[in-house]
Amino acid sequence: MAEEMQKGPNKDGLANTFLIAVFLCLICSIVVSGLAVSLKPMQQLNKELDQKKNILRAAGLLAADSDISEDGRTVEEMFADFNVRAVNLDSGEYTDVVNVESYDPIRAAADGTVSIGLSEDDDIATLGRRENVSLVFIKTNDAGIDKVVIPVRGFGLWGTLYGYLALESDFSTIAGLGFYQHKETPGLGGEVDNPKWKQGWQGVQLYDEGGQPAVDLVKLRSPVNSDASRYEVDALSGATFTTRGVKNLVNFWAGDLGFGPFLQKLKAQQMQASVGGQH
Ligand SMILES: Cc1cc2nc3c(=O)[nH]c(=O)nc-3n(C[C@H](O)[C@H](O)[C@H](O)COP(=O)(O)O)c2cc1C
């Protein structure tokens, strides 16, 4: 009798073990893919919220260590003051060819049909390609445009730095610069995240008198109140490559191949409006 029972199906046999392993794998993969699909909308919302915070921080409207403004406004409330527009970088005109809710300029730069290849001489930020259409974030108040925030990116030492540059209402005075993603070394190039260094960007002039991008990152500052000092930010010590990368990326996106044409148009419109207002 005992012998007969031993001859029944062997639960510890290889086939059974294999079957259970396959079954467990199947259950696990169903659970993991189910979670991935169901969490995707939440991840997307978090990503968008994060970008809004980065834009607000670059504009100096949100402290680095806070998710709420000094007067108690949430990120969503503050971001509602911004108008998100798509801009044709070549013409500097607003465009409706893309949906600003879903458009990704960085992804567009990798698509040869909606971007241009940059020549070695032009490509000071080491981008390879530049999207035809990008996004701008515009904050208005009763007097008109209060701040403009533009996305910027460029190569440092270890990889591309991604960030936002905010300008005051004259479209030349820098309100702030912040990077939300980079691969620079903490303590060296990673000092781009140091709030003290970031503060040094406030009030710096993006364009010289001739309208050319003129930001310079220097080890030795020019005398206070000198002409050159208006365009200067401290270099990052021990990080020459990151420093050069940051200078180049800011000047690239301020230039003719970046948001230069758009910012010039805004300035011309503002001047026209002020002349019109005087009549
Ligand atoms: C492990 C390691 C990490 C480094 N990370 C950076 C960096 O993130 N950015 C940078 O510009 N230089 C970095 N450097 C230093 C550069 O290789 C180079 O020495 C430096 O940019 C020279 O800067 P200095 O002329 O201001 O001293 C790193 C060096 C080492 C050994």
Asked, for residue 124, whether it belongs to a domain, the answer is: yes
Asked, for residue 30, whether it belongs to a domain, the answer is: no
Q: How much is the pLDDT for 8?
A: 63
Number of structural domains, the chain? 1
Q: Which distant-in-sequence residues (6+ apart) come within 8 Å of 124 by Cβ?
A: 154, 248, 249, 251, 252
Rounded CA gap, 205 and 67, in Å?
29
Asked, for residue 16, whether it belongs to a domain, the answer is: no
Rounded CA gap, 61 and 80, in Å?
13
Q: Is the CB of 184 under 6 A from ligand 1?
A: yes
Containing structural domain, residue 157: 76-274
Asked, for residue 267, whether it belongs to a domain, the answer is: yes
Q: How much is the pLDDT for 1?
A: 47
Asked if 209 and 227 touch (Cβ cutoff 8 Å), the reply is no
pTM of the model: 0.87
Shortest-distance Cα residue to atom 30 of ligand 1: 185
Long-range contacts of 23-26 (CB under 8 A, 24+ apart): none
> 3-state SS of 116-182?
EECCCCCCCCCCCEEECEEEEEEEEECCEEEEEEEEEEEECCCCEEEEEEEECCCCCEEEEEEEEEC
Q: Is the CB of 241 under 6 A from ligand 1?
A: yes
Q: How much is the pLDDT for 135?
A: 98
pLDDT tens per residue, range 157-193? 999 999 999 999 999 999 999 999 999 999 999 999 9
Asked, for residue 269, whether it belongs to a domain, the answer is: yes
Rounded CA gap, 120 and 129, in Å?
11
Q: Which residues of the chain have pLDDT under 50?
A: 1, 4
Asked, for residue 116, whether it belongs to a domain, the answer is: yes
With H, G, I as helix, E, B as strand and everything else as coil, classify residue 39. Answer: helix
Asked, for residue 170, whether it belongs to a domain, the answer is: yes
Expressed in angstroms and rounded, the spacing between residue 259 Cα and the centre of ligand 1 is 30
Expressed in angstroms and rounded, the spacing between residue 235 Cα and the centre of ligand 1 is 13
Expressed in angstroms and rounded, the spacing between residue 240 Cα and the centre of ligand 1 is 7
Q: How much is the pLDDT for 14?
A: 84
- Testing ligand 1's pocket by substitution, the residue of 179, 188, 234, 237 carrying the most ligand atoms inside 8 A of its CB is 188
Q: How much is the pLDDT for 10?
A: 76
Q: How much is the pLDDT for 273?
A: 86
Q: Which helix (H) or strand (E) holds 115?
A: strand 115-117
Asked, for residue 36, whether it belongs to a domain, the answer is: no
